[in-house]
Amino acid sequence: MSSGVPAETRQKALQEELRELVDVVGPAPLVDLLLERAFQLQATDIHFEPTRTGLRVRLRVDGILHDILELSAELTSPVISRIKLMSGMDITERRFAQDGHITGAMLRHQRDVRVGSGPTIHGERIVLRLMPDSRQFSQLNELGLEPAEVEAVRKSLARPHGMVLSVGPVGSGKSTTMYSCLELLNHPGRSLVTIEDPVERRVDGIAQIQIDPRIGFSFVEALRGILRQDPNVVMVGEIRDPETAHIAVRAGLTGIRVLSTLHANDTAATIDVFREFEVPPMFIADSVNCIIAQRLMRKVCEHSRETYRPDEAECRVLGIDPAQADTHPLSRGVPADCNFHTGYLGRVGVFEVLPVDTSIRQAILAGKSASELRAMATSQGMATLEQSAAKKVLAGQTTVEEMHRVLIMD
């Protein structure tokens, strides 16, 4: 089953293939094959979860976990030991959580895998995070940004200093967006450095640093050191605490372009996060050039789909006159083998882009609330996450149900 086989065929055949192999191959070939197939299906995680009767294996595809295999109790220990051995863990230690790493050199696909283990009442649980392909970068206009939003981000990146931030919850595609921005700035005449946990993509021409909190080498320590090494562009994997926020903001004020991610619900709420970190309003206003809020929504399956007439509630969510519903047909997926019986296949980003212009800076300095900043930005033409999602529903890319799931709309 090569990578040239259509995705829908691979998805349909995976469970049958693994079940047939369980009884005829050992744990090592089984784990190797599972990793290979997970990469082919563009899974982001593999979960090995002990149960009373064996080992449950699940893949996370398009943000949703899918059951793939149930291994017997006899195979549980050999499979767990194989993964721990590959990732450099202590196979005799089962009482505490461990972190490991499978290098791309060990796999047919030259991609790294981050491994975490921990005890449960039924035995050790292991989760594998599959790192993205370092050779494949998404351009900004391929992520789901509208042309005007791409231009706004490009203009912000072209400024000689200041911060560009990507914000959202875990798993919303922030790192992918930052790598796309980083690629635009990756020029031989610049010094680019990243500080990450973990390093997700290996990029030529960029000095990439892996932090290690176990020895006290945190984002703060790494960032302090880098700022003494003549960087032009610094990407901080995540701003997690006040100290990192203060140092990153100061770097953005002193002639360095700073890229980073942050946990915030939307663009305006990002300003409140910096306020909670006690960053002075003047520093926020002068250092932040652009904020990109984002989510990932599952796409309607291209191979198994249908169109339908939206009902009154859907029209209300999408801003459609119910009397005009017939002129706005929507799409939805039909559950099938090709989409793990979800009706969805692949994901697309929805975005809210806030360039910090003179009026927004003045509002920040004046202490305006997040809701006031948001109202000002939308009055100036900023499309909200909800509006961006609605546009993709109307274009047949995703569904109202997915809007509700991802944006938790009332």
> Domain residues of the chain, as ranges?
7-130, 140-407
Alpha helix ranges (H) inside 173-298: 174-185, 219-226, 242-253, 267-276, 281-287
Which of 408, 391, 383 is CA-nearest to residue 330?
Answer: 391
Phi, psi of 318 (to 5 degrees): -90, 0
| Residue in the structure block whose two tokens are 């980073």 | 260
Q: Whole-model pTM?
A: 0.88
Cis peptide before 78 (omega within 30 of 0): no
Which residues are CB-neighbours of 349 under 8 A, at least 6 positions away?
143, 144, 145, 173, 177, 294, 295, 296, 297
Pairing type for strands 192-196 and 207-210 reads: parallel
Enter the CATH code of domain 140-407.
Answer: 3.40.50.300
Considering the domain 7-130 in this protein, what is its CATH number?
3.30.450.90
Contact call for residues 272 and 231 (beta carbons, < 8 A): no
pLDDT at position 22 is 75
Nearest-angstrom CA–CA distance, 322 and 313: 9
The pLDDT score that the predictor gives to residue 10 is 53
Rounded distance between C-alpha atoms, residue 94 and residue 98, angstroms: 9
Cα–Cα distance, 226 to 220 (Å, whole number) = 10
The three-state secondary structure class of 22 is helix
pLDDT for position 4: 43
The answer for residues whose C-beta is within 8 angstroms of residue 127's C-beta and 6 or more apart is 45, 46, 47, 48, 115, 116, 117
Burial of 14 from C-beta contacts in 10 A (0-12 / 13-18 / 19+): buried
The neighbouring-strand residues paired with 299 are none
Using CA atoms, how far residue 279 sits from 167, 186, 195, in Å, is: 17, 29, 21
DSSP type of residue 325: G
Residue pair 153/145 in contact (Cβ under 8 Å)? The answer is yes
Q: Taking Cα atoms as reference points, which of 31, 141, 49 lies closest to residue 86?
A: 31
CA distance 402 to 23: 39
What is the mean pLDDT for each group of 10 consecutive residues in the chain (410 residues)?
44 71 80 89 94 94 90 93 94 92 69 92 95 76 93 96 96 94 95 92 92 89 94 96 96 96 96 97 97 97 96 95 95 91 93 97 97 97 97 97 85
Tokens linked to 386: 């909800």
Residues 123, 50: contact at Cβ < 8 Å?
Answer: yes
Tokens of 213: 């909190």
